[in-house]
Amino acid sequence: MSEDLGLWSVLIAVIGGAIRVSTPFLFVSLGETITERSGRINLGLEGTLVFGAMSAYGTAVLTNSPWAGVAVAALAGAAFGLLHGFVCRLPRVNDVAVGIALMLFGSGLAFFLGKPFIQPSAPPLPAIPFGFWSSLPQVQAALQVNVLFLAGAALSVFLWWAFRNTKAGLIVRVVGDSADAARAMGYDVDRVRLYATATGGALAGIGGAYLSLYYPGSWNEGVSSGQGLMAVALVIFARWNPLACFGAALLFGGAGALGPALQSVGVSQGYYLFYAAPYVLTLALLIATASPDRALAGAPGELSLSK
Amino acid sequence: MDSTPALPRAIGIETIGMTKRFGAHAALDDVSMKIERGGFHALLGENGAGKSTLVKCVMGFYAPTAGTVLVDGREAEITNPKGAQARGLGMVYQHFTLVPSLTGAENLVIARADAPAILDWKAQRAVLADFMDRMPFRLNLDRPVAELAAGEKQKLEIVKQLYLEARFLILDEPTSVLTPSEAEEVLGLLRAMTDRGDLTVLMISHKFHEVETFARSLSVLRRGRLVGGGAVGTLSRDDMAALMIGERTVRTLAARIGDADAGREVLRVEGVTATDPSGLRHIAIDSLRVRAREIVGIAGVSGNGQKELADVLGGQIRATAGRVIVAGAPYSGTRSESRSRKVRFIPEEPLRNACAPRMSVSENLAFRAFDRRGDAAGGPPTLWLDKRAMAARARELIARFKVKTASAEAPIATLSGGNVQRAVLARELTDPVDLLIVVNPCFGLDFAAVSEIRNRIVAARNAGAAVLLISEDLDEILELSDRILVMSDGRLVYETPAAAAEAGTIGRHMAGHH
């Protein structure tokens, strides 16, 4: 029966892929949303993601607990965020340049420390089989939903709520939109940004843990392939809105699953082109949503790219 | 037994020997001033007289070099604005301190030091509604501040201070962005609050009629010193002006020579519509004509589309429809067009919009002609700069326009506002000009600079230039224009020859009552 599914199987695979592939995008973009809403841009999250993947995998191998891996990845990510935030508060330091430096530093450090963990296998993160009702193996595979995906979905709703309904959320927005106003209210702008960048780093670290402990589910140097950078673009596309981040992450995840899905139904030519779908999509969306006559709607006023 | 609930009462402020030095320069020199509880005190002075320095010392922005502040007769050590807020002191600044992307309600709530960690908007809204009922202004608190008009922002700033329970309110030129009727409404309501003893107000102002109508007492600062003051009514306007300016001759305005050249229409704007980059403000100009030897003044309250009109004329935003015609041909603001048609554009805030702040005065003066040799304006651009000629030209212009600068090689950002404007005028007005577009040319400048810059504009007109003057200062429009237009809500709504102009009618149209 499964042979008759044809194009349906592509759709199912894309949906499954959207759920499976989107999680790192989601965590990194939510983290970056918090950081950028506070008025700073952290391009180093790609490095944080890779380091998170390595540290989670290593910890899981050593302790045999994937959750310990997630925790260590979050801590490592927060440490990278703190480093970024601390360096950026020094005078005449540019956050974009620091981010690029940290991206290379994080990846390099992860490759250096991660060499011993390429061979051993770590216990994976648990997933919930939401596809139990179906007899189709494709559907069952597609609806294997990892716990972190659900946590990320809940987190995006929470952040959307928190930016409007909590004091901390409003303070982050104030700092990101008008540092002068924040100072006049007596808030320490650098400190708020330091915390926001650390939180963003922690979330990116969790995204890395998902990469190495669930999908693809192993540690090697090509584990991320630029997802951390694309998530930064995704934040702009999502207009700094956590709910839109969730939608955008699903879209990117689905696009990323297109290539493997086509390959699995026997499309033997040109499927490599579809591997590029997320990157083409990034470009196409940014061009489509650009305008020479309008300012970036919703952009935090203090962000160096919108100033 | 007192049954009335304890209302926040006004507090009185006194400064004793306030002095603030920046290096050798005394911005504030031994100023002692007392503002009674429930008073409405006006602080007059030219730019740089020390008014802002004084209030910033009171608010804890600056640590005074010497002197103390008494709050209700007791010495108070105020080291930061938060401490001032805690003592019931609040200040409304000239620039807005509201956060643009937050709504009015969010701005109010987050400004409170005791805002709860999780905001129950239903409860907060109820508190705000109750508070707004007691407020003199009606405001929509659900819209992002970025979408509010300047007048509404100003009211929200005042409301915010009252929401923070300020009982002593400092207003820094509060009416500069308001229509005359809005200004009367706002100041009248604040005056009523002081009369009830709920509030004390200290207002920095340049406008004598405001001071006379609303303030009860006044002080005049000049060069950092307190030079006079007393109850309103004891000083005439001439006295106040004399105290502010001191012993100095101010040049009178150059006389207008000749009438507009009816046959030579230099600028024509037809059916132009445009939208600003935020997408919030729209303009629609049906018809605007400026003839040679004529100053056309466009009056209007800030934020009614003047900036967008200027940006279209200067080529900074694109018109979505219509035509801009200069000297008979379409004009889009490119460098070659402005050169060949002799169009000169002086935007507002010239340091930001017409200069490269960190480049030298000499380089900034050369922006029009740095890629030309000598007077060969039509020739091809050169590839290298003639630094010696640039420096010589800069020295000449600095002397001719009396630009005060340490040297021609000093960054232009180190100059005072008046001198930046002089330098920009020197650059724009030395060569023959057919069309001059100026926006708020005297904003924030002192008396002497203002009269000199206005003279230059009139001189350009007398020499035959068509001048479009866009200004938020109605007095300036009335003083300089041959013909006056009023802009409101993105449209030109009223036109009158200056000779027949009447400030009240213009004010009504500015306020949107037409």
For residue range B443-496, what is the model confidence (pLDDT) as tens digits? Answer: 777 777 888 889 999 999 999 999 999 998 777 888 899 999 999 889 999 999
Q: What average pLDDT does range B73-96 have in this prediction?
A: 86
Contact A74, A202 (CB under 8 A): yes
Residue of A293, A303, A307 to mutate for B, most B C-beta atoms under 10 A: A293
Q: Does A300 touch chain B (CB under 8 A)?
A: yes
Of B102, B115, B277, which is closest to A295 when you measure between CB atoms?
B277
Task: Say what the pLDDT of residue B257 is.
Answer: 85
Task: State residue B2's pLDDT score.
Answer: 39
Structure-block tokens of residue A54? 């390595």
**B126 and chain A in contact, CB less than 8 A:** no
Chain A CB contacts of B278 under 8 Å are: 294-295, 297
Q: What letter would DSSP give residue B269?
A: E
Q: What pLDDT, on a 0 to 100 scale, did the predictor assign at position A203? A: 97
- Note the pLDDT of residue A294: 66
Q: Do A293 and B278 touch (CB under 8 A)?
A: no
> What pLDDT was estimated at residue B379?
65
Each residue's pLDDT expressed in tens, for chain A with a length of 307 residues: 445 567 788 888 888 888 988 999 999 999 999 999 999 999 999 999 999 999 999 999 999 999 999 999 999 999 999 999 999 999 888 999 999 999 999 999 999 999 999 888 899 999 888 888 888 888 888 888 999 999 999 999 999 999 999 999 999 999 999 888 888 788 899 999 999 999 999 999 999 999 999 988 899 988 888 889 888 888 988 889 999 999 999 988 888 888 878 877 777 777 778 878 877 887 887 788 777 666 666 788 888 765 5
Whether residue B279 lies within 8 A of chain A, CB to CB, comes out as yes
Q: Least CB-CB distance to A293: which of B101, B110, B317?
A: B317
Quote the pLDDT of residue A5: 65
B-interface mutation test, from A36, A37, A164, A167, most B Cβ less than 10 A away:
A167
How confident is the model at residue A307, as a pLDDT? 52
B405-426 confidence digits (pLDDT tens): 888 899 998 888 888 989 999 9
State residue B223's pLDDT score: 83
Q: Is the pLDDT of residue B177 over 80?
A: no
The confidence score (pLDDT) of residue B7 equals 52
Partner-chain residue, chosen from A166, A177, A180, that has the shortest CB–CB distance to B118: A166
Q: Cβ B80–A186 below 8 Å, yes or no? A: yes
User: Looking at beta carbons, which residues of chain A come within 8 Å of B111?
Assistant: 185
Cis preceding-peptide flag for A216 (omega within 30 of 0): yes
Confidence band for B378, pLDDT divided at 50, 70 and 90 = low
B165 Cβ neighbours under 8 A, 6+ residues apart? B8, B88
Nearest to B99 among A164, A174, A295 (CB): A174
- The Cα A244–Cα A234 span in angstroms is 9
Question: Strands of B321-326's sheet, edge to edge?
Answer: B282-292, B261-275, B321-326, B329-330
Cβ contact, residue pair B121, A165, below 8 Å: yes
- Interchain proximity B110–A174, CB inside 8 Å: yes
pLDDT tens track for B275-310: 887 677 789 999 999 999 999 999 987 778 898 999
Length of chain B equals 514
- pLDDT, residue A2, reads 44
CA angle A243, B116, B167 (to 5 degrees): 125
| pTM for this model (two decimals) | 0.78
Rounded CA separation A115/A118 (Å):
6
Cβ(B48)–Cβ(B70) below 8 Å: no
Interacting residues of B133 by C-beta distance below 8 A, sequence separation 6+: none
pLDDT at B343: 94
Residue pair B220/B229 in contact (Cβ under 8 Å)? The answer is yes
Q: How confident is the model at residue B205 (pLDDT cuts 50, 70, 90)?
A: confident
Averaging pLDDT over each range in A184-198, A285-299, B42-56, B85-99, which range is the top one?
A: A184-198
Rounded-to-10 torsion of CA B339, B342, B345, B350: 70
A154-168, B150-164, B198-212, B449-463, range with greatest mean pLDDT: A154-168
Could you tell me the pLDDT band of residue B4, with boundaries at 50, 70 and 90? Answer: very low
Whether A306 has its CB under 8 Å from any CB of chain B: the answer is no
User: Residue B6 pLDDT > 60, yes or no?
Assistant: no
Which residues in chain B have their CB less than 8 angstroms from residue A174's CB? 99, 102, 110
> In B37-139, which ranges are E strands?
40-44, 66-71, 74-76, 89-92
CA dist B142 and B328 (Å) reads 48
Of B82, B102, B317, the CB nearest to A174: B102
pLDDT at B76 over 70: yes
pLDDT band at B253 (very low <50, low <70, confident <90, very high): low
B139 close to A (CB below 8 A)? no
Closest partner CB to B99 (pick from A166, A167, A181): A181
Highest average pLDDT, of A197-211, B13-27, B161-175, comes from A197-211
Give SS3 for B191. Answer: helix
- In terms of Cα–Cα distance, which of A60, A25, A12, A7 is closest to A253? A25
pLDDT at B281: 77
